[in-house]
Amino acid sequence: MQRNLLEAQTALLRCNADVSLTAIRLYKALGGGWENAANPQPPSA
């Protein structure tokens, strides 16, 4: 019983991760992005 619960919870976590990664890929494919504030790039001339 506990093994089935653990397997179901693991599968749910994987599905949630897949949904998040898919949303990120879609956002980036549509031209979205973000600036990394920790390592700002100097403007190119």
Rounded Cα distance, 3 and 45, in Å: 59
CA 13, 14, 15, 21 torsion: positive or negative?
A: positive
Kindly report, residue by residue over 6-38, the tens digit of the pLDDT: 999 999 999 999 999 999 999 989 988 766 666
Instruction: Write down the domain spans for the chain.
Output: 1-29
Alpha-carbon gap, residue 11 to 15, rounded angstroms? 6
Give the pair of three-digit tokens for residue 39.
Answer: 């390592």
Instruction: Tell me what pLDDT residue 23 has.
Output: 94
- Residue 45 pLDDT grade (very low, low, confident, very high; cuts 50, 70, 90): low
DSSP H helix total and E strand total for the chain: 1, 0
Looking at residue 35, what is its pLDDT? 65
Whole-number pLDDT of residue 26: 92
